[in-house]
A and B are shown apart, each in its own frame.
Chain A
Amino acid sequence: MATSSENAATVRELIHRVLNEGDMSFAEKVLSEDYVEGSPMPGSAGDKASAIAMFAMMREQSPDMRIEVEDVVASGSKVAVRSTMTATDTNGFMPGMPPTGKRYEMGAMDVFTFDDGGMNTEHYGVYDIPGAMVQLGLMPAPGSE
């Protein structure tokens, strides 16, 4: 049975290899076939294929994206990660948005769930999207109106 520290190591490797280096094969390997995305993008099926498509989309929008893991809390089947993503808005903050070419930082909280075999079965997360959009000039700063 996978221990919580093994699960934590898998999450660190997932962030490093898949999101920072663009190696989608590692996501294919560690996300279970019945994976459920608890924070799906609008219109997404929230399954394994759409999760991997989202990782690829993030890399496509900001190819130099880098996630710095600041804290990992792991217990039983759960792993929480606090991180900051730094990136250049090269191809639009989201698909369809005009690129600003600016650098931005975005705080994130993610929680991953694992099965006994160490496969990632579920994920949910919350991201400081408004903070990033304010840095890119895509949204006014709160209280500035």
Chain B
Amino acid sequence: MSDVDRNMDVIRRLEDAYETRDYDAVRTLIAADIATHTPGSEMMPAGVEGCIAANEGGYAFFPDKRAEITDLFGEGDRTVVHIRMTGTNTGAPVDWAGLTEATNKPIDIDWIQVARHDAVGRIVETWAQMDSPKMMVQLGAMPAPEGM
């Protein structure tokens, strides 16, 4: 298995671990001191514990949260993954979107992540963008853009 294939396998195993909330596995796939560059990550705990907290936060808002890998490739020490995230906001109110009550509305959004892997495949740095405007529109926290 090439390093790129191994790194892509790490991404698949990580998504499985997030979905089963197997955080021992998450801690073996992500370096403890991972550097994350995702809008909002500055509000989370540092390192891998922030990644775990973000996943738990997702389940708190969307208890039926599912993530589907729709695209995955890599070059050198980096992988790129495109994830389609779906769920229903039956849990906690999405407070960062300014909501004070659960909306019971479904979301269906994309996120794209570039990850850098170390020599054994562990994820040491990530850059990601989540389509939060689409999520806010789907939750009714923001009007749909007009005239675009």
Within 8 A of A (CB), among B87-133: 95-96, 98, 110-114, 127-133
A39's partner among B39, B78, B110 (CB-CB below 8 A) is B110
**Does the CB pair A130–B98 fall under 8 Å?**
no
> A34 on the interface (CB 8 Å rule)?
no
**Does the CB pair B110–A80 fall under 8 Å?**
no
Query: How far is the CB of B141 from the nearest CB of chain A, in Å?
Result: 11
* Band of interface residues on B: 20 to 34
> A127 on the interface (CB 8 Å rule)?
yes
> B43 on the interface (CB 8 Å rule)?
yes
A110 CA / B111 CA spacing, docked (Å): 10
Closest A residue to B95 by beta carbon equals: A143
Q: Could you mark each residue 59-76 of chain A with 1 if its beta carbon is under 8 Å from any beta carbon of chain B, else 0?
A: 000000000000101111
Write out the residue numbers on chain B whose beta carbons fall within 8 Å of the beta carbon of A4: 75
**Does the CB pair B39–A128 fall under 8 Å?**
yes
> A1 on the interface (CB 8 Å rule)?
no
**Does the CB pair B145–A109 fall under 8 Å?**
no
A130's partner among B76, B133, B146 (CB-CB below 8 A) is B133
> B10 on the interface (CB 8 Å rule)?
no
Write out the residue numbers on chain B whose beta carbons fall within 8 Å of the beta carbon of A85: none
Write out the residue numbers on chain B whose beta carbons fall within 8 Å of the beta carbon of A129: 132-133
The tally of residues in A whose CB lies under 8 Å from a CB in B reads 34
Write out the residue numbers on chain A whose beta carbons fall within 8 Å of the beta carbon of B144: 42
**Does the CB pair A75–B74 fall under 8 Å?**
yes
Q: Could you mark each residue 130-148 of chain B with 1 if its beta carbon is under 8 Å from any beta carbon of chain A, else 0?
A: 1111001000000011111
**Does the CB pair B75–A73 fall under 8 Å?**
yes
A8 CA / B54 CA spacing, docked (Å): 32
> B24 on the interface (CB 8 Å rule)?
no
Write out the residue numbers on chain A whose beta carbons fall within 8 Å of the beta carbon of B40: 142
**Does the CB pair B129–A73 fall under 8 Å?**
no
Closest B residue to A142 by beta carbon equals: B96
Question: Can you list 30 residue pairs at the A/B interface with Cβ under 8 Å?
Answer: A41-B145, A44-B148, A73-B74, A73-B75, A73-B78, A73-B79, A78-B73, A78-B80, A80-B73, A80-B80, A94-B147, A94-B148, A95-B147, A107-B127, A109-B114, A109-B127, A110-B112, A111-B82, A126-B112, A126-B129, A126-B130, A126-B131, A127-B129, A128-B39, A129-B133, A130-B136, A142-B40, A142-B43, A143-B43, A145-B98
Please list the residues of chain A having a beta carbon within 8 angstroms of any beta carbon in chain B: 4, 39, 41-44, 71, 73-76, 78, 80, 82, 94-96, 107-111, 124-131, 140, 142-143, 145
Please list the residues of chain B having a beta carbon within 8 angstroms of any beta carbon in chain A: 4, 39-40, 43, 71, 73-76, 78-80, 82, 95-96, 98, 110-114, 127-133, 136, 144-148
The 10 closest A-B pairs by CB, nearest first: A109-B112, A126-B129, A80-B80, A75-B73, A41-B148, A109-B129, A142-B96, A96-B147, A129-B133, A73-B75
